[in-house]
Structure 1
Amino acid sequence: MIQRIDLRGRRLSRRALLDILPRPDLGVDEAVHVVEPILHDVRTGGAAALRALAERLDGVRPEHLRVPKAALDTALAELDPAVRAALEEAIRRVRIVHAAQLPADHSTELAPGAVVRQRWIPVQRVGLYVPGGLAVYPSSVIMNVVAAQEAGVPGLAVASPPQKDHGGLPHPTILAACALLGVDEVYAVGGAQAIAMFAYGAVGSEPQDGEVLCDPVDVVTGPGNVYVATAKRLVRGVVGIDAEAGPTEIAVLADATADPGHVALDLISQAEHDPLAASVLVTPSAELAGAVEARLVDLASATKHTTRVAQALGGRQSAIVLVDDVAAGLEVVDAYGAEHLEIQTEDAAAVAAQVRNAGAVFVGPWSPVSLGDYMAGSNHVLPTGGSAHFASGLGVHSFLKSVQVIEYTREALAEVADGIVAVANDEDLPAHGEAVRGRFH
């Protein structure tokens, strides 16, 4: 079911590991020719283009592109009480963690009268995308919205695909989650067209839209399929984005002390997302590898989404990687840079402290990725495809910009005037120096 990669006795460079370790074919480059016309149509056609695209791609023509407030209220009123309680607890935990992320403004006095301040300012408006393909993700509503709210963003809009089974509106649980969070600007728009709407705005074309359907945003965040990722790549620069999210992935670094049942369950939990989802076990224990393989066969055949799980585990993106020891395993997982990395080893906390590249690290047998998906308080919108080497997961920082404020007195400027003139002349920019010198004549 799942391939094996044997690296025992081989200490490879990061470049060599990247060539060997499994990754899915994302097809972003191939998707460009599909996405570019969609971006153009939405930019020029507004609401009419959005309805036509929904009819063609989602199989339903929404009556309301912007979800009516009554539909949000109804969805919340009809939400299963157990689900509502769980979502409310998740919101509470995520809000506490993200409130603690807020950076403090600070001021530095370099000399008397020479002050540089750093201010953190939220962007004005954000577009938050919530996918609605193979699964329903109210948890993604929470992760996106709470981070933006705690950053202090005044304008939030959510988009999620229209559902044929729900009258052209997003899934009711998505709408209920928005209502719980106090978000009333919600759009029944999915895929690349949602990203285009956020980036360029959209003018209404029918009476219920009004003159403007959706104003442009400053930042777009949220996961999605290859077309969403491609659209985000193409509008980057028009708006800020969090990342080009690819299929979800888990890596588990485990030794002989790990429970093979736990490991197999966690690999399957990611595999059920998508046939392209990646599940990777890195271990120095051949015995654990064999036991996990056996459990995967049993558990995958019994799970609800057995076909999807089998495709993901059997795909080129999933593998069991055998290494010489935990230290070698750390080198492998750092090269891989997983979206989710579990450490199930002896002294797991000490091993986890050595990890450099991961979207989120889950320490020990009682911290499964599923915990982070819903109730840990951490954010589950994380870098994929190895981008954890340079990118962070979603947080309040995703919606903040740093502004430096410089305030010098006459005396403080005079103290550095000669240095400014010297460097300006050396750069052959004499007017820069004169802009300083001229103030003292």
Structure 2
Amino acid sequence: MKLVKVANQVSIKRSVEVGTKEQRDTVKNIIKNVRARKQEAVMAYTKQFDGVLLESLLVSSQEIEAAYREMDPNMITVIQEAAQNIRSYHEQQRQTSWMMTEQNGTILGQKITPLSSVGIYIPGGTASYPSSVLMNAIPAQIAGVRRIVMVSPPDQNGKLPASVLVAASEVGIKEIYKVGGAQAIASLAYGIEGIKPVDKIVGPGNIFVALAKREVFGDVDIDMIAGPSEIVVLADESAQVNEVAADLLSQAEHDERSSSILVTPSESFAHKIAAEVKKQIADLPRKDIVEKSIRNFGRIYVTRTMDEAIEVVNELAPEHLEIMTEQPVEILGRIKHAGAIFIGRFSSEPVGDYFAGTNHVLPTNGTARFSSPLSIDDFQKKSSVVIYSEVAFRKHAHKIAAFARLEGLEAHARAIEERMK
């Protein structure tokens, strides 16, 4: 890992999901083609990109049953327990509609309504992600979404991973389709034969999925443009070297564009971590991916003081932040920007990825400065409610009309004054 000495300002080398012109043009053409030719286009793209010609996009009940037979029963139990933890955590986020009544009889309020339908994209390719099924579907269910549709790219045998199908079944998803890439996003946004359009699309994916979500935004809502995964570990010499190195590598194995960063006020500790990271990489199954990630986006920032280290962390605004210092809880209040914060030795980032119950769909690329983890808020919309009393109207009508004329909107003013005649 590259070691960099800093004062209090740092510019992270990020892999931003903007895509090349060729990639953007490809995505636009796919979306246009799916809108025009619908399922015919989707089937053709599935053959082209996934190497399989499907008879049907819909996952059958027989495929679900086969997935259960294939799965280790102990792992099914783990999935069930993780789902319960996620459900318990997100149930604390519930909001209700409310009304307030003023003395003059006016009633103002907010009505909370769940979205009618949501599409969940689950990546395929180099790994399977049953955890992403749970993290996206459960908050939507708690929010009250009635229709949840899941899409995921099939393998060359025309199947989805058993773990993904079991996770989907455990949370009650009925509509599961074997389609991935930009064509899946277009199908969810605009509909094809068998798949009705949804109101919002959530879930991570590759660059083509990210660009497709950006392209359809406005016709449907999206959660975020998710970039490669990232972790920042804020540590001092009280932290265990082998554990810090392992946590850094846990993100590097996601993607060769993932970033793993240590921030520390100790140069001697920094050198120990660099050596340990190199040692642990040697026998990792995804060694090639990890090495590219560490080489291109791995960094160790050495500051003069812990105060400066905290400033660097806030500048980075990481997706995941681990605080592994002598007094980690005291630092928590000084963290302004982070998607998820893991405090102490036993709060390793994978705990949150899979089991604790917090959501692992988090803001990346520094967007933790203004964004939050996926929550039930992402699956609800809010409407303002106004029941204005006659007493309040007659008292304030001339002010409202005057305000309208201040903006040059005469018809607005007259709409008020007509009620005063």
Native 8 Å contact 1:38 1:192 kept in 2:
yes
The answer as to 2:210 corresponding to 1:219 is no
Larger mean Cα displacement after TM superposition, 405-414 or 125-134: 405-414
Aligned-residue identity in percent: 38
- Which residue in the other structure is 2:121 paired with? 129
- Which residue in the other structure is 1:76 paired with? 68
The answer as to 2:268 corresponding to 1:269 is no
How many Å separate the matches in 2 of 1:69 and 1:440?
64
Of 162, 168, 172, 2:158 maps to: 168
Deviation at 1:139, TM superposition (A): 0.3
- Deviation string 1:1-54 (CA, Å, 9 cap, x unpaired) is x111211xx343xxxx3xx32222545244212211111111111111111111
Number of aligned residue pairs: 420
- Which residue in the other structure is 1:102 paired with? 94
Of 323, 332, 336, 1:352 maps to: 332
Of 56, 62, 78, 1:64 maps to: 56
- Deviation string 1:182-239 (CA, Å, 9 cap, x unpaired) is 1110010111111111111112xxxxxxxxx101111000011111111111111011
- Which residue in the other structure is 1:4 paired with? 3
- Which residue in the other structure is 2:413 paired with? 433
Aligned amino acid, residue 397 of structure 2: A
Of 273, 283, 288, 1:302 maps to: 283
Aligned amino acid, residue 73 of structure 2: P
Deviation at 1:76, TM superposition (A): 2.5
Structure 2 portions without partners, runs of 5+: none
How many Å separate the matches in 2 of 1:67 and 1:127?
15
- Which residue in the other structure is 1:45 paired with? 37
Q: Secondary structure at the match of 2:341?
A: strand
Q: Secondary structure at the match of 2:339?
A: strand
Native 8 Å contact 1:23 1:318 kept in 2:
no
- Which residue in the other structure is 1:35 paired with? 27
Deviation at 1:240, TM superposition (A): 0.5
Of 245, 249, 252, 2:230 maps to: 249
- Deviation string 1:69-88 (CA, Å, 9 cap, x unpaired) is 22123313432111101100
Native 8 Å contact 1:76 1:180 kept in 2:
no
Q: Secondary structure at the match of 2:293?
A: helix
How many Å separate the matches in 1 of 2:229 and 2:330?
26
Native 8 Å contact 1:144 1:221 kept in 2:
yes
How many Å separate the matches in 2 of 1:247 and 1:374?
18
Deviation at 1:62, TM superposition (A): 2.0
Larger mean Cα displacement after TM superposition, 424-433 or 23-32: 23-32
Deviation at 1:133, TM superposition (A): 1.6
Structure 1 portions without partners, runs of 5+: 204-212
Of 370, 385, 388, 1:405 maps to: 385
Of 374, 377, 397, 1:394 maps to: 374
RMSD between aligned residues: 1.3
- Which residue in the other structure is 1:233 paired with? 214
Of 392, 395, 398, 1:415 maps to: 395
Query: With structure 2 as the length reference, what TM-score do the two structures score?
Result: 0.97
Aligned amino acid, residue 80 of structure 1: D
Native 8 Å contact 1:22 1:319 kept in 2:
no
Deviation at 1:386, TM superposition (A): 0.9
Q: Secondary structure at the match of 1:331?
A: helix
Of 302, 306, 316, 1:326 maps to: 306
- Which residue in the other structure is 1:208 paired with? none
- Which residue in the other structure is 1:287 paired with? 268
- Deviation string 1:73-118 (CA, Å, 9 cap, x unpaired) is 3313432111101100110000011111112222122442111110
Deviation at 1:431, TM superposition (A): 2.0
How many Å separate the matches in 2 of 1:46 and 1:440?
55
How many Å separate the matches in 2 of 1:396 and 1:113?
33
Native 8 Å contact 2:8 2:311 kept in 1:
no
- Which residue in the other structure is 2:167 paired with? 177
- Deviation string 1:356-392 (CA, Å, 9 cap, x unpaired) is 1111111111101100110010000111111111111
- Which residue in the other structure is 2:315 paired with? 335
Cα gap change, 1:75/1:6 in structure 2, threshold over 3 Å: closer, same or farther? same
Deviation at 1:288, TM superposition (A): 1.2
How many Å separate the matches in 2 of 1:62 and 1:358?
42
| 4+ residue segments displaced more than 3 Å | none
Query: With structure 1 as the length reference, what TM-score do the two structures score?
Result: 0.93
Aligned amino acid, residue 172 of structure 1: A
- Which residue in the other structure is 1:210 paired with? none
Cα gap change, 1:431/1:25 in structure 2, threshold over 3 Å: closer, same or farther? closer
How many Å separate the matches in 1 of 2:18 and 2:217?
18
- Deviation string 1:223-258 (CA, Å, 9 cap, x unpaired) is 111111111111110110010001111111111111
